[in-house]
Structure 1
């Protein structure tokens, strides 16, 4: 199985989509091997691995299909992870901006108070 059902970081929202991808992988002779082998690698490494498989004339077409579906699942997962990471970064940046704005306001207030003295 390439995509875990109900796994929040899979990148897929619909169970029937996950089931279809997993069915395609199984019916084409694939297992979790490709998915697990490339799970923690960068997208470039995944694509390079898929390219190697697809250009191999000795590999059966069904296995190439299974690996392609697994790569799709990995690609979606990568994008979902990147979106989540960007959301966290944006939240952190907003917090930093608010802190800096508060500091600037406090400094302006302090400067005005010191001028009045």
Structure 2
């Protein structure tokens, strides 16, 4: 996956599948750490290398919502803050945010 992302760093399909794979892995680690009584609060991936793509961020949030992951709220807040910083001047962002909030997803104001 990493080789593919290096070759095609702007491929949204690769990024989406990479995130899905990483979240699945984090879920397994989280379950293992919980079973061993270890701290699960340290399982937050670094999302700084993502291409600047609004649709990619929205897809990541959809995957995150569908994944029962410890600290997913922290990741969601990080993605939402990133989206606000990068896309707040675009009307599509505000339209999407309104629909996102109307769908009942809790958004913590940044």
TM-score normalised by L of structure 1: 0.28
Question: Which structure has the larger Rg?
Answer: 1
Q: Which has the higher helix share?
A: 1
TM-score normalised by L of structure 2: 0.29
